[in-house]
């Protein structure tokens, strides 16, 4: 099998490539990644000489390049995106370009080259926010109601992917997954930002009252869900993928990290809230469980500890990232 993975130098994409080549060493993977600030080839150092792996630096918005690569491909697994909500609030333009136009370019090429499967990696954020303390979860029937430029651009891409199935019968699947955590996550997202700030002796910025709720999934569980969808998923279907956490507030996650790292709550710094901040996400993943037998296998507390250890043991990886452009972003984002 030949896979074209887009965005494979990012957090989930690189975890996915490492997972896939370990499980299916005979398969061939081309990784198309623009290497934006979020792309990092160090994530894939262990496989860079693997003859079944090829890296191509390029933009998914480039139809010629995408077409050249798609010609050689059976399956596209599409991760490439601008992925950080706060950056989408500061500057939506690259989100519209990559997440919407880039997905369109890939869809056109997939159709032209009669690709066997187009898997689109999306997010639970397209559904908008749930009420705090409600029992409600996102499910297949939840209408789209995105609030940030990031989630609106991902929602648009989901609609485009579905339109290519309904209109042109492109064999596609979509997964809408909750917040991932684990090794190789860029330290702008809550968990790696908190861990690396604490290692550096800095405080952890908590937005608003800190009582925002996300549904958390260890990244390897997400990779396994995509694997199962590719193997056994029904073409044209969307699968919701979520974790084992039961309404855990951001503040409680930070307190867990502080405890693991032997720090006190004086290290929490309340900062100004994110505009349009979605209050609560929760994912009902019962359909993928019933239909494909998937369930999360990594316990949150145990894998949070493992994630803390990974950032402690891989300081060179993130210290290089937390310079230059990152510093400028951090100052802009967190200045009062």
Residues classed as catalytic: 124-125, 150
Contact status: 212 vs ligand TYD (CB under 6 A): yes
Count of chain residues binding ligand TYD (CB under 6 A): 13
With CB under 6 A as the contact rule, the residue among 21, 30, 206, 217 that binds ligand TYD is 206
Q: Which of 1, 36, 63, 147 binds ligand NAD (CB under 6 A)?
A: 36
Cα–Cα distance, 66 to 71 (Å, whole number): 9
Site for ligand TYD in 9-68 (CB under 6 A): none
Angle between helices 11-23 and 219-232 (to 10 degrees): 60
Q: Is 218 in the site for ligand NAD (CB under 6 A)?
A: no
61 lines the binding site for ligand NAD (CB under 6 A) = yes
- Nearer of residues 60 and 198 to ligand NAD, judged by Cβ: 60
218 touches 179 (CB < 8 A)? no
Q: Which does 13 bind (CB under 5 to 8 A by kind): ligand NAD, ligand TYD, none?
A: ligand NAD
Q: Residue 16, class by beta-carbon neighbours within 10 Å (0-12 exposed, 13-18 middle, 19+ buried)?
A: buried
Taking CB atoms within 8 Å and a gap of at least 24, the contacts of 288-292 are 288/225, 288/228, 288/229, 288/239, 288/240, 288/241, 291/232, 291/234, 291/239, 292/228, 292/229, 292/232, 292/233, 292/239
Is residue 11 involved in binding ligand NAD (CB under 6 A)? Answer: yes
Considering only residues 12, 100, 107, 193, which one is a binding residue for ligand TYD as defined by CB under 6 A? 193
Under rule CB under 6 A, how many of the chain's residues touch ligand NAD? 32
Q: Which is nearer to ligand NAD, 147 or 203 (CB)?
A: 147
Q: Which stretch binds ligand TYD (CB under 6 A): 100-108, 205-213, 302-310, 324-332?
A: 205-213
User: Per CB under 6 A, does 88 bind ligand NAD?
Assistant: no
Query: Binding mask 155-194 vs ligand NAD (x if CB under 6 A, - otherwise)?
Result: ----------------------x-xx-----x--------
242 binds, among ligand TYD, ligand NAD, none (CB under 5 to 8 A by kind): none
Q: Which of the choices ligand TYD, ligand NAD, none does residue 218 contact, using the CB cut-off of 5 to 8 A by kind? A: none
> Which residues sit at the interface with ligand TYD, rule CB under 6 A?
85, 125, 179, 189-190, 193, 205-207, 212, 214, 250, 274
């Amino acid at each position: 099998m030949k896979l074209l993975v887009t965005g494979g130098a990012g957090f989930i994409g690189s975890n996915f490539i490492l997972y896939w080549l370990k499980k299916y060493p005979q398969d061939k993977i081309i990784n198309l990644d623009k290497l934006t600030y979020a792309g990092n080839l160090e994530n894939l150092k262990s496989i860079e000489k693997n003859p079944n792996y090829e890296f191509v630096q390029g933009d998914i918005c480039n139809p010629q390049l995408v077409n050249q690569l798609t010609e050689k491909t059976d399956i596209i697994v599409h991760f490439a995106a601008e992925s950080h909500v706060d950056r989408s609030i500061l500057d939506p333009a690259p989100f519209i370009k990559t997440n919407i136009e880039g997905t369109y370019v890939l869809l056109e090429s997939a159709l032209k080259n009669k690709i066997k499967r187009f898997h689109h990696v999306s997010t639970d954020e397209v559904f908008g926010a749930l009420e705090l303390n409600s029992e409600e979860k996102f499910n297949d029937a939840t209408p789209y109601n995105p609030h940030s430029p990031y989630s609106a651009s991902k929602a648009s891409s989901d609609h485009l992917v579905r339109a290519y199935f309904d209109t042109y019968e492109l064999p596609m699947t979509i997964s809408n997954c909750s917040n991932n955590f684990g090794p190789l996550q860029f330290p702008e997202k809550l968990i790696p930002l908190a861990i690396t700030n604490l290692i550096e002796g800095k405080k952890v910025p908590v937005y608003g009252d800190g009582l925002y709720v996300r549904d958390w999934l260890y990244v390897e569980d997400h990779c396994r869900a995509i694997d199962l969808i590719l193997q056994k998923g029904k073409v044209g279907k969307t699968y919701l993928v979520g974790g084992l956490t039961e309404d855990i507030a951001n503040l409680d996650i930070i307190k867990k990290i502080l405890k693991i790292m032997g720090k006190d709550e004086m290290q929490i710094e309340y900062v100004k809230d994110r505009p349009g901040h979605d209050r609560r996400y929760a994912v009902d993943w019962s359909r993928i469980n019933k239909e494909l037998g998937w369930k999360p296998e990594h316990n949150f507390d145990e894998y949070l500890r493992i994630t803390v250890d990974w950032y402690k043991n891989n300081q060179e990886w993130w210290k290089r990232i937390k310079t230059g452009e990152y510093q400028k972003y951090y100052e802009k984002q967190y200045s009062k």
